[in-house]
Amino acid sequence: MKLALVGATGLVGKEILVILEERKFPISDLILVASKKSCGQTISYLGKAHTIISLEDLLEKEVDLALFSAGGKVSQIWTPQLVAKGCKVIDNSSFWRMNKNYKLIVPEINGDKLTEKDMIISNPNCSTIQLVMALAPLHQKFKVKRVVVSTYQSITGSGVKAVKQLENEERGILGEMAYPHPIYQNVLPHCDTFEENGYTKEEMKLTNETKKILDEEIDVTATAVRVPVVGGHSESVNVMFENEFNLDDVHQSLRNMIGVEVVDNPLENKYPMPITAYKKDSVFVGRIRRDFTQKNTLNMWVVADNLRKGAATNTVQIAEYLLMKNYI
């Protein structure tokens, strides 16, 4: 397996390397790619130093699978060139996600839609992945009609620059700003850029990607909020079903879902939190309760490590699925 990782020096790229190692993904030749300013630097993987190369140099190599986590512009330009050489691509950017010609995959939900012919496979947005992991088993049993979600998203979703901003502000240091306002001891109702309809791109990703992965008939409205947490996205989710439900069945459906863990005993102060989801691959669900103001409606709290299941782990799981099916 000749595997290339594009964006190897970023937060998600570094986490992908950790997960490839943890899960013992079979690699005969690992090629690490980053921006030109990082070329020549080395990163250790399984005790061996690997020198970072450029995208131009990557095109000179034979590659079976490329994992992209370097932003939409990079994916737009370079993934088609690799595909033309026969290389499969799993892309973590937003560029291909809503293209009808490419599949948006969470392996536990729709991995079976993949075929050998799929050359570019999109990894969903981090906040979408944890949402659909919790919704999928409930949709199958009770049929989801409408979702209202408010997110509480870690600064790591904005990359290294945002982490540095928070660190600087905690120490009272003036530095480069990733956000238009301070994030330390603050909350920003602003993830990504605002669109003409008043929603941000992050909020519309939750709407559009959920529909593509689960069901086009599901209505999703979102408010995405950035909080000063280093690692882990949380979501307050209100779900209206077509069918009646009881809470025991809800709990059982969630427990039966691979990759979901129910942590729901508020009387003992047990509920999902970013601090307990950190460095874990599961999606954690708790605070499960009936919405007494609406018929067939449920509230729940969903938490996941956004760099792992929200990005890196899901990417590696897609690669594992392709390998298991002999598609690469």
The predicted-structure confidence for 249-283, as pLDDT tens digits, reads as follows: 999 999 999 999 999 999 999 999 999 999 999 99
* 18, amino acid identity: V
Q: Are 264 and 302 in contact (CB under 8 A)?
A: no
Supply the pLDDT for residue 216: 98
Residue 302, CA atoms < 13 Å, CB-side half-sphere: 31
User: How many Å apart are CA 280 and CA 89, to the nearest integer?
Assistant: 25
Residue pLDDT, tens place only, 132-158: 999 999 999 999 999 999 999 999 999
How many percent of the chain have pLDDT more than 90?
100
Q: What angle do CA 256, 259, 91 make, to 5 degrees?
A: 140
Supply the pLDDT for residue 114: 98
Supply the pLDDT for residue 205: 98
Question: pLDDT category, 118, cuts 50, 70, 90?
Answer: very high
Point out the catalytic residue in the list 50, 139, 191, 233.
233
The CATH topology of domain 2-124+311-324 is: Rossmann fold (3.40.50)
297-304/283-290 β-pairing: antiparallel
126 labelled catalytic: yes
The mean of the pLDDT values for the chain is 97
Point out the catalytic residue in the list 87, 126, 139, 191.
126
59: helix, coil or strand?
coil
Average pLDDT over residues 108-118: 98
Q: Provide CATH 3.30.360.10 ranges for the chain.
A: 127-305
CATH number of this structure's domain 127-305, picked from the four choices 3.40.1280.10, 3.30.360.10, 2.40.10.10, 3.20.20.70: 3.30.360.10
233 labelled catalytic: yes
Supply the pLDDT for residue 181: 98
Give pairs for 214-217: CB < 8 Å, separation 24+.
Answer: 214/109, 214/132, 214/135, 214/136, 214/139, 214/144, 215/139, 215/144, 217/145
User: How many Å apart are CA 320 and CA 328, to the nearest integer?
Assistant: 10
Residue pLDDT, tens place only, 205-243: 999 999 999 999 999 999 999 999 999 999 999 999 999
Closest by CA position to 276, among listed 236, 232, 306: 232
Residue pLDDT, tens place only, 41-56: 999 999 999 999 999 9
Q: Are 201 and 224 in contact (CB under 8 A)?
A: no
Supply the pLDDT for residue 138: 98
Task: Give helix 126-142 / helix 247-255 axis angle, nearest 10°.
Answer: 130
Question: pLDDT category, 63, cuts 50, 70, 90?
Answer: very high
Q: Provide CATH 3.40.50.720 ranges for the chain.
A: 2-124+311-324
User: How many Å apart are CA 245 and CA 300, to the nearest integer?
Assistant: 14
Supply the pLDDT for residue 238: 99
Q: CA gyration radius for the chain?
A: 20
